Every structure is written in structure tokens, then in C-alpha cells.
Amino acid sequence: MGQLPDNLPALIEQSAARFGKRPAIVDGSTTLSYEQLAARVRQLSRALVSEGVRAGDRVSIWSPNTFHWVIAALAAHRAGAILVPLNTRFTGPEARDILSRSAVRVLFVPDGFLGRDFLELLRESCSDTATADPDETTAPGPVPRLPELHLVVKIPVEGPSEGPPGQGVTTWHEILRRGEDLPDSDAAPLNGDSLCDILFTSGTTGRPKGAVSTHRQTIAVAASWADCAEVTERDVYLIINPFFHSFGYKAGWLVALLMGATIVPVLKFDLDSTLETIARERVTILPGPPTVFYSLLAHPRRDEYDMSSLRIAVTGSAPVPVALIERMRRELSFETILTAYGLSEAVVVTMCRPDDTPETISQTSGCAVTDFEVRIADESGRVLGPGEDGEIQLRGPNIMVGYLDDPAATAAAYTDDQWFRSGDIGHMDERGYVTITDRLKDMFTTGGFNVYPAEVEDAILSFDGIIECAVIGSPDDRLGEVGLAFVRTNREPAPTEQQIIDHCRTRLANFKVPRRVVRVEDLPHSAAGKVLKRELRESAPVLVSQAG
């Protein structure tokens, strides 16, 4: 791999020099070579600087996977800004909370996506007195109550932009045109310790916490992933995972740019379209949860598509049976199938290796990647032996530098001897391979997205008449797990299941909304008054059947 650059602007310039006219991104009818990508990044970066973006400012992208996302991210970094990706499933209040806390100066949004106007969602959230912060001031700009937000750029995701409606709003083509008219300039002076991005992840309190990482850390985790997966410049990487997620970003398009591979973004997953893209672009790397591969195998016209180019599959987020791995190798032509374990604070911690057996891939999440140490410890801090379940704890230079503006949470995330507490429960075998068995913080995963029950419970408890609530993950064939909420009420008539679900939809991203809400007379509690969720999980089938 050679000498790694210590910041992302240096990385894209190095890749442009190394890979030149090789395709960096193929997005529908748009193909950008490495040279063209670097030129677009410089162009947009000049425009951002002309808009007042300076080193340390925050630039946010709230948009789906397109070539624009990569250009915007790299241009923000070249201007010296810190990137704040936003989940495209967020509601207006969720997005506004993060934009406000991050003091974002420039925001990129789609000019319409899946029938949603993201800018309008933000503006509507500011008129909602129930979610407004009384300390916020309404200032002129693109969004009231976001005084730091100076500019919104609308990306033409679903067709040509209709133009900028209002003050502080421009289009993608207009801001690129501005950059074209400006003289070239050097990238902001950055080094490996310069702050690179803030990835927000919910904590046990339910409010998202921002994991802050440096440029060196970001590049190092991408390099570790690329090394384990044996990615080369001959690879074509179909990226289904969202770019706002660490997998789609740091283990996704950044891996491709580092190695000279070609990025093929997926705007929204569709099975037929995916098959067509694999055949047309000769895709070699395909990530996704097991449901993606089950769907490919079950497609009635799969044999009509040439999938012989497929080489590497990366899967997880749900159990991966040995039988599925064997079928993927036999029927989908994959040479290498990998599982991995990571989190927003550390991105890639463990990973399988290409020569691992199907049993190892199925039953573990691999062993530690470069620069990471992993141990299993009990509540007292005692390090456990092979096969013993305890908390998975990490140590290494690529763990975040801390949570944004939250030194208390940062300190609490570490043990006394400075191991990072993942909050996940698992065990390790004699080889150092880790198996995750539970989640200490009650988190569950829906369709590859982490859901933290405390955040969902807070939303449900804001509904009039709900006096207690507990949310757990319930097995689902398609999504892995979905939310199952148990509630106690103190009024008649009691709110209906649909009323509570509709209430959640106005406050939470769709993947966080529980699929079932069950009314109960009581919940199991510990002596300290905490709901015993393990007992609740065990009794859930009976409680659900009684509810009908």
C-alpha cells in the first residue's frame, strides 16, 4: 500500500496522481476519473471557502448515496472543515438537534428524495413549539433557530433542481459554477491530528452522541479494512451501505479511493436494479446484510444476469448461517466472504480473513485488525478467558478522540486502565476471534441500523396517558430485529397501538419506530426499580399472543 497520507485532501491528490484516468466513481450516466474527481473537489472547495468556510467549521451532508456526496465530503475537508454526516431517515427534529449542537455552517440536502423535502422538514421542525429550545434565537438565514447555518446546497438527486427557494439556499450546479470562476488555492493546512468528522450515535440516555475522529484515524481504519479484504485497483465496489454510516463511508468509498478501486453508489436498494448493475459494471465487491444475499439467491431470474465478476462479500448485522456462506460461494461466485465488528467510535475493530472457514465466518466476527487490541472483561474488570462471556473492550490509536462537547460521557466510556467499553457482550476463542452474544446497552439492529431503546422509550412516554414503557428487539426474518414496545397506561380509553406508532413516526426515523406496541398491566422490575429486559424478552411471546 505504501506510505499513507495523513489527511484526506492529500489522499485524493495522491490517488489522482496514481490512478489518473481510471474511473473513481460510476453513478448512472455520470463517470468521474480520479483526475476529474480531484478537480471537482478543488472546484467545490474554492466555492466553500468563498462562502466563509474556515478550518474547524462544520459541514453536514444529509443526502443519499450519489457522487455528489463524495465530492461534498472531500471538498469540505479540503476547506479545513469537519464533516457531520446525517442519517437520511432522520425526522426534521432529529436532524435539527444535531445541526444545532454541531454548529453546522453549510448543509447539503437532496432537492427531493423519496417524496421528502429535507429543507422543508427542517423548517417545519423549527415551528414546532414542542421541540423548540427556548434558548435558541431565530435569526435570518435558510433555517430559523439554526443561527450558525449560513448556506444550504440542494443536490439534484431526483432530477434537475427547480432553483433556490429563499435566502441562503443555492443549487449544486450554481455553487460549482462559483468555484469554477475562482482562482485555484491550496488545501487548508491539515495534519493527521486535525479533526476530520463527527459521527453521531445514540447512547444509553437516548440522545445522540457525536464521536469525533481525526484524519489519521479515518484513513487508518480504511486501510485496515482494505488490507483484510485484499482490495485492489481492479475492484469495483457496489456500495449499498449509506454513505452517512461508517460502513458506507470509512469502510466504503474511502477504501475505494485509497486503493484505486471504482465506487458504484446505490441510491436506493432494488433487487432487479442491483442485479443489472452487477452485470453491467462488473462489480467485484458487494456488502450487505444476509437478507441481500438471500434475496439474490432467491431471485427467479438470477441466471439471466452475469454475476461471475463478484469476488468479495462483506456481511453481518444478523446471523450468517454456514449454509448461506456455502451457497454464496457456490452459486454467486464469491471467493471471499467476510464478517466484521465495529462501532461508530472505532469503525472497524475485528474482521475475518479471506482464508477463514465457513464455520469461523458464521460463528465469529473475526479477530482484531491492525492497531487494535481486544479483550473480554467482567464487571469488576477481570480479564476473562476463552469462551467466557463479558464486555468487549478495545484499545488502540484509532478509537475516537472523544464525544463532542461531552467530557463526562467520554470519560465514562473508558475503564480505569483506559480500555474503551464497547457496551457489547461476547467471548473470544483461543485464536483471538470474537463472537458477539448480547448487547449490554440493550441496543438492537434493524436492517443494519442500530436502535437504542431509550430513545424510542422517550418518544413513546411523551404520548399522553403512557406512564411506563420498555422497548426490546424482536426477531424478524427480513430485518434481523424490529422494535417491540410494552406500555402501561393510566387513562381510559387507552391509546391504541396505531396511535402510539403514528406518534413515534412524527418524532423518530422510520427504522426506530416499533412495529408492535403491546399494552400490559405491569413490567418486570429489579429491586432498584429498573425494568428487567431479559425477563421481558423471555415472556414477550406470551404477552404478544395475549394481546392478539
**pLDDT of amino acid 319:** 65
Confidence of residue 517 (pLDDT cuts 50, 70, 90): very high
* 251: Cβ contacts below 8 Å, ≥ 6 apart: 221, 222, 225, 241, 287, 314, 340, 342, 347, 348
Q: Which of these CATH numbers, 3.40.50.620, 3.40.50.12780, 3.40.50.980, 3.30.70.20, describes 269-439?
A: 3.40.50.12780
Give residue-wise pLDDT tens across range 367-410: 999 999 999 999 889 999 999 989 999 999 999 999 999 999 99
Please work out, in degrees rounded to the nearest 5, the angle formed at the alpha carbon of residue 63 by the alpha carbons of 136 and 67. 140
The CATH 3.40.50.12780 portion of the chain extends over: 269-439
Residue 132 vs residue 177, higher pLDDT: 177
Q: For residue 394, which amino acid is it? A: L
CATH for the stretch 33-208: 3.40.50.980
What's the residue count for the chain?
548
Query: Strand 373-377 to strand 390-395: parallel, antiparallel, or no bridges (unpaired)?
Result: antiparallel
The CATH 3.30.300.30 portion of the chain extends over: 444-547
- With cell 425477563, the residue in question is 535
Distance (Å, rounded) from C-alpha 297 to C-alpha 313?
14
- Residue 218's alpha-carbon distances to 236, 251, 411, in angstroms, are 21, 10, 22
Distance (Å, rounded) from C-alpha 409 to C-alpha 402?
8
Distance (Å, rounded) from C-alpha 18 to C-alpha 23?
12
**pLDDT of amino acid 165:** 66
Phi–psi pair at 416, nearest 5 degrees: -60, -30
Confidence of residue 181 (pLDDT cuts 50, 70, 90): confident
The CATH 3.40.50.980 portion of the chain extends over: 33-208
Residue 493 has pLDDT above 90, yes or no: no
Query: Strand 466-476 to strand 480-489: parallel, antiparallel, or no bridges (unpaired)?
Result: antiparallel
In contact, 432 and 368? CB cutoff 8 Å: yes
Residue 191 has pLDDT above 90, yes or no: yes
Q: What is the mean pLDDT of the chain?
A: 90
Residue 523 has pLDDT above 80, yes or no: yes
| Least confident residue range of 149-163, 199-213, 305-319, 471-485 | 199-213
| Least confident residue range of 92-106, 110-124, 154-168, 410-424 | 154-168
**pLDDT of amino acid 204:** 42
Count of other CB atoms within 10 angstroms of residue 435: 17
User: pTM of the prediction?
Assistant: 0.86
Residue 544 vs residue 194, higher pLDDT: 194
* 379: Cβ contacts below 8 Å, ≥ 6 apart: 391
Dihedral over alpha carbons 297, 299, 302, 308 (to 10 degrees): -30
Residue 60 has pLDDT above 70, yes or no: yes
Give residue-wise pLDDT tens across range 399-443: 999 999 999 999 999 999 999 999 888 899 999 999 987 666 677
CATH superfamily of domain region 444-547: ANL, C-terminal domain (3.30.300.30)
Confidence of residue 492 (pLDDT cuts 50, 70, 90): confident
